[in-house]
């Protein structure tokens, strides 16, 4: 076979897939067509549901290069199959250039990125096998086009300017714009620039919904019941299905329309683009292609694509993407060709250079520009390749939710199918032995399958989640992924962002501490005074920010706003008219209020005022380098009015600023002063300044790189900001800790500040030790290493060497393992250390995840990596953030909840209307309630199936069955009412330490189901066989009159029973009546037994609808059993039985109820349930006396299903539990103070490490 048979596309990415080539085979197609006809279309349905079977059944394998159809398989844990048809893009008809050269370029899988096509083609023409082709082969999958790439010998998606393009070439090759010919070719390849969410027609949606396997099974059932003349029940099921389909169609259509409206905002915008000959052309935004130079209008616009800014500055609202309402300033991409250091090799990346990139869907509010030089941006990505397009794709094509509950549910259904198969075989054998007609045998044996697999199961399972979603909405939590609610019930670790989440969003200026002559002055509280007004320190505070005026109101980062308000200065921005009058950019100007400036000498003459103008103190902001979370700093170039030289001001994280300053300007006690502030929980920002060379002109400054500015600075001092804890934070965290839910802080702030806040809010208790892991990357031939420092607790002295051995939890023999608190220590590290550990110390990552509590200075992608690392040790991770830097982590976590008030942020599965972390316990409580409801409903539906299955099987043995109206009464009046009301239990009012099990395959749940099945079968069998032993029993016939044996009580009704029509199905008999009454009560008994309350849901007696429904049904069934009503009996085809037998049935039912409730509530809740729920606490592993019992119960439960299916392996416990157990007996863990862990130099690839104690 050809080696090209199997390839991998999108290698190393989230959507990595294997690809196989196939060609259509006519003889296979003919055989399949014949099979479709023979099976009445069922084979066609099967192939529709299974893409892999469809392709393999109709095609033969072929080389991917020449195939007609590709089969795709995801490489993740779901291993999903897709198929796509190969299409051809013809280049023959295009008049602008040689088609051959174009095919040559595209076969490389990239856009044509240079203007001179002919020269490039001569260079590359020998490389590709398809140079003579005038057609390009491609396929589309999930709205992305994959073109054949001859260099890679594989399919590859068409990239724009976002990959493999240097910053230099952005300016040199692309800033001039495209010719019309180039534009036309690129449009042919990239297609229309739109994120098209087509709203399918109702007919298409209907067909897709109806062809669901569940509804096909319903259709099969209805046809079967109609054949057997069960018209009423069939009609009821049809009505249920129609209602279900219509409601489903309505919700799906509504979601499509909402998504369509969300993305359609930019589809018909007119934009102005620059062409090569400097002419401007008005085109529709749908015609934009990568490489187009787009002019950003003065009054702003909604961006129709991703573009990199090359001229001017924009103020952008990115709330659509990030949920952050604060406007962001975007500056032009630094031009490396005019950079002093000449960083020309740096590749452009929208993520790295996001401060220079305008993203699709974001709103440009204002622009800043030169006269005659428009604000321009080069289009880098269009359509579904844009950031917004990728977001929409993730909504259109979501990954399946992998949750143990759903996997176990499918296994349970398979068990029911296996039970149905047994019944199917039994029915056939029994009917043949009793010489039943073949037609009846077929109908009855198939009917047993429709009874065993409950038709209402999907609707019943969904009900609890829908109710939970409504309850969440009432408390201000909006959910866009309802299936995640159940998963939230399993959360055992929650990561919190600090600023705006645990602490108040706004910062208050506590004071400043200036530096003079390399010494810190005393802290000053009031910055707004005449003494400081002309100081460089205040000048830095006045200019080094990204504030702007929008409709006359100052807006920007809250920290910048507080800092600017503290000095009381005034910010003025040039109007469009003022800018147009000058040949240079009109800067934003800041100036102090007049009352702060020293009074000038009064002028004797009015004309003298002109000479006083230079005395006005104003600073113009010439160039701004915006704040970068990766660099942890921002800087500006400014000029005081009248000064010849410009000034550079910088502010940011103190450690970073100090590293960019002259060492001689930094006070000796800098680290101690900084540590004192951060330990008290203050947010500290450092300021620096330097005079720039006089040769730097306005225009040179516009093109200079920030690295050329941000060095050799003079350290000026510190700004101390106070970030107060939110009032509810300590209480919420205490509730989570009581519920054995670990809490972790992930912040972009300073580490010591984060540790201090963690102590203040109770995340780290006063007696707990904090171990700081400082990881250093390999350098100068030395391997990577981690230095371990013990942070001082509030009661200890500052000298870390004074920490004695008691700082580490001692694992002595005499300590009771039951009382050993392993969680006495916490790890803290910054983002840089975290990255080094991930890369060089993979063996240590799980251990650090077990007790890592504070992660500071974390970049957005590092937050996502942390969530993944925690998930890798089997934690169920929640993430709570303000939606700004946390988008990736919010999406990756099992339950991400954004505190952003903007519902437009679709990054998070949950969004809280109120910016308070009190939503976290509420979400977990509702998740637990929904999860327990799912268990209750599933158990009830399983019992309903088995009880009805056994009733029918018993009756088949006497060639009888349940009647049409009996089925109708059980399925509609009892089952549906009970299922939809038992799901209404609200969540328990507080979080408890136990967690619900994550899957159905656990010892307690299996014991619950199996015990109830045995009890139900036992009492049903008792009634069925006992009735035959009664002295009045006979094989029922229309003239039977068993009631008269007890007296004349029922004599009045006997003639009604005797007038009954012939019963061809043998429904009316004593066995049927007995089984019907006992089974009807059994449904209600198991409903009450399974409807659990504490500790996850409110008690069932508070579910008034459920209680009312059950009471009405009990009373009704009891009434018709003890006091027969002739019309009802006739409708339900019940026969008259003696009163004594009715009392006997009542006793059977009462004993059944007593046994069921006792087994469920005493045996299960008092013994097994507690065993299964005896979980770890916060990752610590506890040896308890009940542990072996739990293992045996779980093992027994899992083995039961293994025996039934012979396909399930024993699932180990969570990795973090194993790890906690190992660490209990590890003498080297946690690391001792003042020790170093070094990575072994390339000995193993798995990141093995050794601990070396430094002496």
What positions carry a catalytic annotation?
497
Q: Phi and psi for 1057 in degrees, rounded to 5?
A: -65, -40
Distance (Å, whole) CA 852 – CA 870:
10
End-to-end CA distance of the chain: give it in Å, rounded.
63
Q: CA 244 → CA 203, 237, 239, 449, 930, distances in Å?
A: 16, 10, 8, 22, 21
Q: Given the structure tokens 């394998």, which residue do they identify?
A: 61
Spatial distance between the Cα atoms of 526 and 538, rounded to a whole number of angstroms: 11
Q: Which alpha helices (H) appear in 326-380, and where do they start and end? A: none
CB atoms within 10 A of CB 747: 27
Cα–Cα distance between 201 and 896 in angstroms, integer? 33
| Spatial separation of the C-alpha atoms in residues 1119 and 80, rounded to whole Å | 54
Q: Which helix (H) or strand (E) holds 946?
A: helix 919-956
Q: Where are the alpha helices (DSSP H) in 281-368?
A: 319-322
Give one DSSP letter per residue of 570-612, joined into a string: EEE---HHHHHT-SS---EEEE--GGGSPPPPPPSSGGGHHHH
Cis bond upstream, residue 704 (ω within 30): no
H/E stretch holding 755: helix 751-760
* CA dihedral (906, 907, 909, 914) positive or negative: negative
DSSP 806: G
Q: Which of 342, 308, 168, 350 is nearest to 704 (CA)?
A: 342
Tell me the Ramachandran region of residue 1186: left when phi exceeds 0, alpha when psi lies from -120 to 50, beta otherwise: alpha
Tokens of 1081: 């009560």
CB 548 within 8 A of CB 366: yes
Do 480 and 906 contact (CB within 8 A), yes or no? yes
Q: How far apart are CA 153 and CA 653, in angstroms?
A: 48
Helix, strand, or coil (residue 844): coil
DSSP 664: G
User: How far out from the chain centre does Cα 628 lie?
Assistant: 25
**Residue 1092 in tokens:** 């659990």
**Strand arrangement of the beta sheet that strand 87-90 belongs to:** 87-90, 135-141, 144-149, 154-157
C-alpha span between 1027 and 1032 (Å, rounded): 9
Count helices and strands in the chain by DSSP H and E runs: 42, 42
DSSP bridge partners of 872: none
**DSSP notation for 482-493:** THHHHHHTT--E
* Contact in structure between 720 and 674 (CB atoms under 8 Å): no
- The closest of 50, 63, 43 to 2, measured between CA atoms, is 63
Going by the DSSP 8-state scheme, the letter that residue 662 receives in this structure is -
CB contact at 8 A, 434 and 963: no
Q: Which residues on neighbouring strands pair with residue 685, listed in sequence order?
A: 719
* Alpha helix segments (H runs only) across 1040-1103: 1051-1058, 1070-1090
Of 693, 621, 683, 692, which Cα lies nearest the Cα of 652?
Answer: 683
Tell me the β-bridge partners of 625. Answer: 635
- Pairing of the two strands 270-274 and 81-85: unpaired
Q: Which two tokens stand for residue 1180?
A: 């610590």
């Amino acid at each position: 076979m050809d080696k090209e048979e199997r390839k991998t596309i999108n290698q190393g990415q989230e959507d990595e897939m294997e690809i196989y080539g196939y060609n259509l085979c006519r003889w296979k197609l003919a055989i399949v067509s014949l099979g479709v006809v023979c099976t009445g279309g069922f084979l066609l349905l099967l192939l529709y549901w299974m893409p892999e079977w469809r392709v393999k059944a109709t095609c033969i394998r072929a080389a991917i290069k020449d195939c007609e159809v590709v089969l795709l398989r995801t490489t993740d844990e779901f291993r999903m199959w897709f198929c796509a048809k190969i299409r051809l893009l013809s280049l023959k008809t295009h008049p602008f250039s040689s088609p051959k050269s174009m095919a040559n370029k595209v076969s490389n899988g990239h856009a044509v990125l240079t203007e001179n096509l002919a020269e490039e083609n001569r260079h590359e023409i020998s490389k590709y096998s398809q140079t003579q082709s005038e057609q390009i082969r491609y396929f589309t999958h999930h709205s992305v086009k994959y073109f054949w790439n001859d260099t890679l010998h594989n399919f590859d998606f068409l990239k724009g300017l976002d990959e493999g393009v240097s910053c230099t070439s952005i300016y040199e090759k692309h800033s001039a714009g495209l010719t019309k010919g180039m534009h036309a070719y690129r449009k042919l390849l990239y297609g229309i620039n739109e994120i098209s969410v087509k709203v399918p027609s109702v007919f298409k949606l209907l067909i897709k919904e109806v062809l669901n396997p569940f509804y096909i099974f319903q259709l099969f059932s209805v046809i079967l019941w109609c054949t057997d003349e069960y018209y009423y029940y069939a009609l009821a099921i049809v009505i249920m299905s129609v209602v279900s389909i219509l409601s489903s169609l309505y919700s799906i259509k509504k979601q499509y329309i909402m998504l369509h409206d969300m993305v359609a905002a930019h589809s018909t915008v007119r934009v102005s683009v620059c062409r090569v000959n400097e002419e401007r052309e008005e085109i529709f935004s749908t015609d934009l292609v990568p490489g187009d130079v787009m002019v950003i209008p003065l009054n702003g616009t909604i961006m129709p694509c991703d573009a990199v800014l090359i001229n001017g500055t924009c103020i952008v609202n990115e709330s659509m993407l990030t949920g952050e309402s604060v406007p962001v300033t975007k500056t032009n991409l630094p031009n490396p060709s005019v950079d002093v250091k000449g960083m020309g090799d740096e590749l452009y990346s929208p993520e790295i250079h996001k401060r220079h990139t305008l993203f699709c869907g974001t709103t440009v509010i204002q622009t800043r520009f030169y006269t005659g030089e428009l604000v321009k941006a080069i289009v880098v990505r269009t359509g579904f390749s844009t950031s917004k397009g990728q977001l929409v794709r993730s909504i259109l094509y979501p990954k399946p939710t992998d949750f143990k509950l759903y996997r176990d549910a499918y296994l349970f259904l398979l068990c029911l199918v296996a039970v149905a198969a047994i019944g199917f075989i039994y029915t056939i054998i029994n009917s043949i032995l009793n010489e039943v007609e073949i037609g009846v045998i077929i109908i009855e044996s198939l009917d047993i399958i429709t009874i065993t697999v409950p038709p209402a199961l999907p609707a019943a399972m969904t009900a609890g989640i829908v109710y939970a979603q409504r309850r969440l909405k009432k408390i201000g939590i909006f959910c866009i992924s309802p299936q995640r609610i159940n998963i939230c019930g399993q959360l055992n670790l929650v990561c919190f962002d600090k600023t705006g989440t645990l602490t108040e969003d706004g910062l208050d200026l506590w004071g400043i501490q200036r530096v003079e002559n390399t010494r810190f002055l005393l802290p000053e509280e009031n910055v707004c005074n005449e003494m400081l007004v002309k100081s460089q320190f205040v000048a830095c505070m006045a200019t080094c920010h990204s504030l702007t005026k929008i409709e006359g109101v100052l807006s920007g980062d809250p920290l910048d706003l507080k800092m600017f308000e503290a000095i009381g200065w005034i910010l003025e921005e040039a109007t469009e008219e003022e800018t147009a009058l000058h040949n240079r950019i009109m800067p934003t100007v800041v100036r102090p209020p007049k009352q702060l400036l020293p009074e000038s000498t009064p002028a004797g003459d009015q004309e003298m005022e002109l000479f006083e103008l230079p005395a006005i103190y104003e600073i113009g902001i010439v160039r701004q380098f915006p704040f970068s979370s990766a660099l942890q700093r921002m800087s500006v170039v400014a000029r005081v009015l009248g000064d010849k030289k410009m000034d550079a001001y910088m502010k940011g994280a103190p450690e970073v600023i100090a590293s960019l300053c002259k060492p001689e300007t930094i006070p000796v006690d800098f680290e101690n002063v900084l540590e004192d502030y951060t330990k008290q929980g203050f947010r500290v920002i450092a300021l620096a300044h330097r005079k720039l060379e006089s040769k730097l002109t306005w225009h040179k400054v516009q093109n200079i790189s920030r690295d050329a500015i941000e060095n050799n600075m003079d350290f000026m001092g510190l700004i101390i900001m106070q970030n107060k804890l939110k009032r509810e934070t300590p209480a919420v965290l205490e509730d989570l800790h009581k519920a054995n839910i670990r809490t972790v802080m992930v912040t972009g702030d300073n580490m010591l500040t984060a540790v201090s806040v963690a102590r203040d809010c109770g995340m780290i208790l006063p007696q707990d030790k904090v171990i700081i892991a400082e990881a250093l990357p390999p350098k100068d031939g030395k391997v990577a290493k981690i230095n371990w420092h013990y942070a001082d607790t509030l009661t200890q002295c500052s000298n870390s060497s004074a920490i004695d051995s008691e700082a580490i939890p001692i694992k002595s023999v005499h300590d009771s393992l039951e009382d050993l608190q392993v969680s006495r220590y916490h790890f803290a590290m910054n983002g840089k250390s975290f990255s080094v550990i991930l890369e060089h110390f993979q063996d240590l990552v799980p251990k650090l995840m077990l007790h890592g509590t504070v992660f500071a200075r974390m970049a957005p992608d590092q937050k996502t990596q942390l969530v993944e690392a925690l998930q890798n040790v089997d934690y169920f991770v929640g993430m709570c953030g303000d939606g700004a830097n946390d988008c990736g982590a919010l999406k990756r976590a099992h339950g991400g909840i954004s505190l952003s008030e903007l519902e437009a942020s679709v990054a998070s599965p949950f969004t809280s209307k109120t910016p308070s972390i009190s939503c976290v316990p509420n979400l977990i409580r509702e998740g637990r309630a929904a999860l327990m409801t799912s268990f209750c409903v599933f158990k009830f539906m399983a019992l309903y199936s088995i009880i009805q299955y056994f009733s029918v099987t018993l009756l088949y043995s006497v060639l009888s069955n349940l009647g049409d109206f009996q089925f109708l009464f059980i399925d509609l009046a009892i089952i549906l009412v009970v299922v939809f009301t038992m799901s209404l239990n609200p969540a328990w009012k507080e979080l408890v330490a136990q967690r619900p099990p994550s899957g159905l395959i656990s010892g307690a749940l299996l014991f619950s189901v199996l015990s109830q099945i045995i009890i139900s079968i036992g009492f049903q069998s008792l009634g069925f066989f006992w009735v035959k032993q009664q002295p009045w029993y006979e094989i029922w016939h229309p003239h039977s009159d068993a009631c008269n044996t007890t007296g004349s009580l029922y004599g009045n009704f006997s003639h009604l029973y005797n007038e009954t029509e012939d019963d061809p199905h043998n429904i009316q008999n004593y066995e049927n009546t007995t089984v019907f009454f006992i089974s009807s009560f059994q449904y209600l008994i198991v409903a009450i037994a399974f409807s659990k309350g504490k500790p996850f849901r409110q008690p069932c007696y508070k579910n008034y609808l459920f209680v009312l429904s059950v009471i009405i049904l009990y009373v009704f069934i009891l009434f018709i059993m003890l006091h027969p009503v002739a019309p009802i009996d006739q409708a339900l085809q019940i026969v008259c039985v003696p009163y004594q037998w009715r009392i006997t049935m009542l006793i059977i039912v009462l004993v059944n109820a007593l046994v069921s409730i006792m087994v469920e509530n005493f045996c299960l809740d008092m013994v097994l349930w507690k065993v299964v729920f005896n979980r770890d606490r916060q990752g610590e592993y506890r040896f308890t006396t009940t542990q072996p019992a739990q293992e045996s119960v779980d093992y027994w439960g899992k083995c039961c299903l293994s025996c039934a299916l012979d396909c399930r392996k024993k699932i180990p416990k969570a990795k973090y539990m194993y790890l906690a157990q190992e660490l209990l007996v590890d003498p080297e863990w946690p690391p001792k103070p003042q020790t170093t862990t070094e990575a072994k130099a390339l000995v193993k690839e798995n990141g093995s490490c050794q601990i070396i104690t430094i002496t």
